[in-house]
Amino acid sequence: MSDQQFHKLAPADDVPPGGMKQYTVEGRPVALVNADGEFHAFEDVCTHQFVHLTEGELLPDGKVKCPLHGASFDVVTGEAKSLPAVKGVPVHELKIERAEIYVALNPERVKTGKRRRRTG
Ligand code: FES
């Protein structure tokens, strides 16, 4: 059962194997990666500081490496795999129909760059 709303993202041949690209969906940066022919999508923001992960590197072992301080994330689960990032990136659901990729956005977002203030 899924009430997810899918948005058309890109033609399936837009991102070749080993590639990644950023798209904007509802004002949010979405990373689409093609890891050995399998597509995955996630919020295109590092959880350590604000930078786009698509400006980094897609590693052969299925991780994306942040361009700023080198943290890596699993492109399938979004899990942070190395420091300095400790939180994972939200992953988005994908479906492919007639060679077009559609994405359903994860409501969870990356929050970076804000300091918490103590209240009371
Ligand atoms: S901004 Fe990504 S690891 Fe620091």
Residue 118 forms part of a structural domain: no
Which residue range is the domain that position 64 belongs to? 6-104
Residue 56 forms part of a structural domain: yes
Residue 4 has a pLDDT of 76
Q: Would you call 29 exposed, middle or buried from its count of C-beta atoms within 10 A (0-12, 13-18, 19+)?
A: middle
Indicate whether residue 89 lines ligand 1 (CB < 6 A).
Answer: no
pTM, full prediction: 0.90
Residue 25 forms part of a structural domain: yes
Indicate whether residue 48 lines ligand 1 (CB < 6 A).
Answer: yes
Q: 1 alpha carbon to ligand 1 midpoint, in Å?
A: 35
Residue 84 forms part of a structural domain: yes
From 42, 45, 48, give the residue whose CB has the most ligand 1 atoms within 8 Å, as the site to mutate: 48
| Cis, peptide link before residue 90, omega less than 30° from 0 | no
Residue 119 forms part of a structural domain: no
**What pLDDT tens digit does each residue of the chain (120 aa) get?**
456 799 999 999 999 999 999 999 999 999 999 998 999 999 999 999 999 999 999 999 999 999 999 999 999 999 999 999 999 999 999 999 999 999 999 999 998 754 445 554
Residue 36 forms part of a structural domain: yes
Q: 2 alpha carbon to ligand 1 midpoint, in Å?
A: 33
Whether 79 and 67 have beta carbons less than 8 Å apart is answered as no
Residue 120 forms part of a structural domain: no
Q: Closest by alpha carbon to 34, among 11, 52, 51?
A: 11
CATH code for position 11: 2.102.10.10
**In total, how many domains does the chain have?**
1
Q: Within 13 Å and on the Cβ side, how many CA atoms surround 74?
A: 9
Residue 118 has a pLDDT of 56
Residue 43 forms part of a structural domain: yes
Indicate whether residue 67 lines ligand 1 (CB < 6 A).
Answer: no
